[in-house]
């Protein structure tokens, strides 16, 4: 599903009105009805319920006026609070405001120094607050008066439904324009906005409910948005159905270079995730002194013990054996728990120069590349890099704080510059392709912030690529399913007690939900 910014959404509205003759007041009516329906669902029983609608003076306020009218017509005790001078209300919003006045619906004007002092006490009487102060057009810090109104809503401890985006959140970036409404739900019109998805705005959005308001599909298709939200429906189209007459070779051979003294767990988690993601066969190349540990734990994987110059570390002397034993693989992963070493850099250089097999690079492989990014120019195959923000900082020399403020832009720029697929991990993981195509994921939870979670993701990505899924699509689908498995683990175990192995354990359930088998 496309993700748009405020400019693109305004373009959608304008094209709908000008090209297809659908009037703006009809779009506003559809938007208001969508929110009204969600209010009804939220309250369940309208009898005796009271709803406060806090409106601004623009189109978002106009949507709120429509909601108020429908509630009023359904005998719900509703009151509209207008933040600021209603004389400046214009256009379609004014049309709906005038209708409300003719219906004699309760309206109170809030203004600096008067009318707001008792808002806090009044809100205590209501069962629900609808936030209709600002929409997607906000591009500045809001003034002190409106900040006070928003903070009054936030401290009311009443459930809030925001219209399109919580007031105070920038639709273009997700940044907070001074302060913002904390919504329990946000009814989003037609397409999600970047501000609904990106943090910190996502923290204020609550549950996202995407509603069609009548913008023609032809208009949506015409908008050039390279940013997509990964959805279950999209992933279902990516994961191939299995045929009865098949064998393990049909589902891909994976080769993993991983593990070092004290870090065998990373290699194990990656291998288990590969197998749980549906790949047919996995080989793991491991320093010889660690081989017995791996064979005891990984009964389904083939181990490739590597000779050691330095105990417990993949060495330069291993390169010939690595290249030989990985030659028949469909996908390769390097780095989980490998340890940083000059030897690993040489392993990467040799693979890049001599292999055309798609490769996934994680953890210590990324750290090895941090000071030798020029090695990426040697790649002869698609490559997926899976950094967390600190690893991305090492790769880009950009501060973590600045990366987190510009996750999409940083990931896209690196992907295009170095011709690689970037998975910038974290809340709302970003997948960026060299083409500029970008995906944002919404599955997952804080319980996944645990050691080994990234190793599991590396295994799923590699397993999907080995099964013949195009690398960009395989990566985006893997990110979604990784988060979905984490959500299932959290639902069963809670977020505090989760371990990375729990994500692996719940992978089959996540995949079953996707493919149905």
Question: Known binding site: residues?
Answer: 59-63, 131, 135-141, 164, 167, 266, 337, 388, 425-429, 454-455
Whole-number Å distance between alpha carbons of 178 and 154: 14
Q: Do 323 and 351 form a contact (C-beta atoms < 8 A)? A: yes
CA dihedral over 496, 501, 502, 504, signed as positive or negative = positive
Whole-number Å distance between alpha carbons of 173 and 437: 18
Closest CA to 134 of 76, 201, 43, 229: 201
Binding-site residues for (6S)-NADPHX, please? 59-63, 135-141, 164, 266, 337, 388, 455
User: How is residue 487 written in tokens?
Assistant: 């959500």
Whole-number Å distance between alpha carbons of 377 and 373: 8
Binding-site residues for AMP, please? 425-429, 454
User: How is residue 422 written in tokens?
Assistant: 């970037």
Question: Across-strand partners of 438?
Answer: 227, 432
Three-point CA angle 3, 4, 5, nearest 5°? 135
User: How is residue 99 written in tokens?
Assistant: 């209708």
- 331-334 and 359-361 beta bridge pairing: parallel
Binding-site residues for K(+), please? 60, 131, 167
Q: Do 348 and 369 form a contact (C-beta atoms < 8 A)? A: yes
Q: What is the distance of C-alpha 14 from the center of its chain?
A: 28
- 430-432 and 438-440 beta bridge pairing: antiparallel
* Alpha helical stretches, state H, 397-452: 400-405, 407-418
Based on its alpha-carbon atoms, the radius of gyration of the chain, rounded to whole angstroms, reads: 27
Q: Do 65 and 36 form a contact (C-beta atoms < 8 A)? A: no
User: How is residue 496 written in tokens?
Assistant: 């505090």
Three-point CA angle 468, 471, 474, nearest 5°? 75
Instruction: Name residues whose C-beta falls within 8 Å of residue 414's C-beta, 6 or more positions apart in sequence.
Output: 392, 395, 396, 420, 422, 432
User: How is residue 327 written in tokens?
Assistant: 């030659």
User: How is residue 70 written in tokens?
Assistant: 């429908």
Whole-number Å distance between alpha carbons of 40 and 43: 5
Closest CA to 263 of 451, 75, 402: 451
């Amino acid at each position: 599903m496309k993700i748009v910014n405020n400019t693109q959404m305004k373009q959608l509205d304008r094209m709908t009105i000008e090209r297809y003759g659908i009037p703006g007041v009809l779009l506003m009516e559809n938007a208001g009805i969508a929110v009204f329906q969600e209010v009804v669902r939220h309250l369940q029983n309208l009898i005796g319920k009271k709803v406060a609608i806090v409106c601004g003076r623009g189109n978002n306020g106009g949507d709120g006026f429509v909601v108020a009218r429908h509630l009023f017509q359904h005998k719900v005790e509703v009151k509209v609070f207008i933040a600021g001078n209603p004389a400046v209300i214009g256009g379609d919003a004014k049309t709906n405001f005038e209708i409300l006045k003719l219906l004699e619906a309760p309206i109170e004007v809030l203004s600096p120094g008067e009318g707001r002092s008792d808002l806090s006490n009044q809100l205590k009487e209501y069962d629900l607050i609808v936030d209709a102060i600002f929409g997607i057009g906000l591009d500045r810090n809001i003034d002190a008066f409106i900040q006070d109104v928003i903070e009054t809503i936030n401290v009311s401890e009443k459930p809030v439904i925001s219209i399109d985006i919580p007031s105070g959140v920038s639709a273009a970036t997700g940044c907070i324009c001074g302060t913002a409404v904390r919504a329990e739900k946000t009814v989003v019109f037609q397409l999600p906005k970047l501000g609904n998805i990106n943090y910190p705005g996502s923290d204020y959005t609550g549950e996202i409910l995407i509603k069609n308001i009548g913008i023609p599909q032809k208009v949506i298709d015409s908008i050039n948005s390279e940013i997509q939200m990964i959805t279950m429906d999209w992933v279902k189209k990516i994961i191939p159905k299995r045929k009865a007459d098949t064998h393990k070779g049909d589902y891909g051979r994976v080769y993993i270079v991983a593990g070092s003294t004290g870090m065998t767990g990373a290699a194990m988690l990656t291998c288990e995730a590969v197998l749980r993601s549906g790949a047919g066969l996995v080989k793991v190349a491991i320093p010889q002194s660690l081989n017995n540990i791996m064979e005891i734990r990984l009964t389904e994987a083939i181990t490739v013990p590597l000779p050691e110059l330095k105990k417990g570390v993949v060495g330069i002397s291993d390169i010939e054996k690595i290249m030989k034993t990985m030659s028949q693989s469909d996908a390769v992963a390097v780095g989980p728990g490998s340890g940083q070493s000059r030897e690993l850099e040489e392993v990467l250089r040799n693979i890049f120069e001599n292999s055309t097999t798609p490769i996934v690079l994680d953890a210590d492989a990324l750290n090895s590349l941090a000071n030798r990014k020029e090695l990426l120019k040697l790649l002869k195959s698609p490559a997926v890099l899976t950094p967390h923000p600190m690893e991305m900082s090492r790769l880009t020399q950009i501060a973590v704080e600045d990366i987190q403020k510009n996750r999409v832009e940083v990931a896209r720029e690196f992907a295009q510059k170095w011709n690689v697929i970037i998975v910038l991990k974290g809340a709302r993981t970003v997948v960026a392709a060299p083409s500029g195509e970008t995906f944002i994921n919404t599955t997952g939870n804080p319980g996944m912030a645990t050691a080994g979670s990234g190793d599991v993701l590396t295994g799923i990505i590699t397993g999907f690529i080995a099964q013949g899924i195009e690398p960009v699509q395989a990566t985006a689908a893997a990110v979604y399913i990784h988060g979905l498995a984490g959500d299932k683990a959290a639902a069963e175990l809670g977020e505090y007690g989760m371990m990375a192995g729990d994500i692996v354990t719940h992978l089959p359930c996540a995949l079953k939900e996707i493919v149905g088998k």
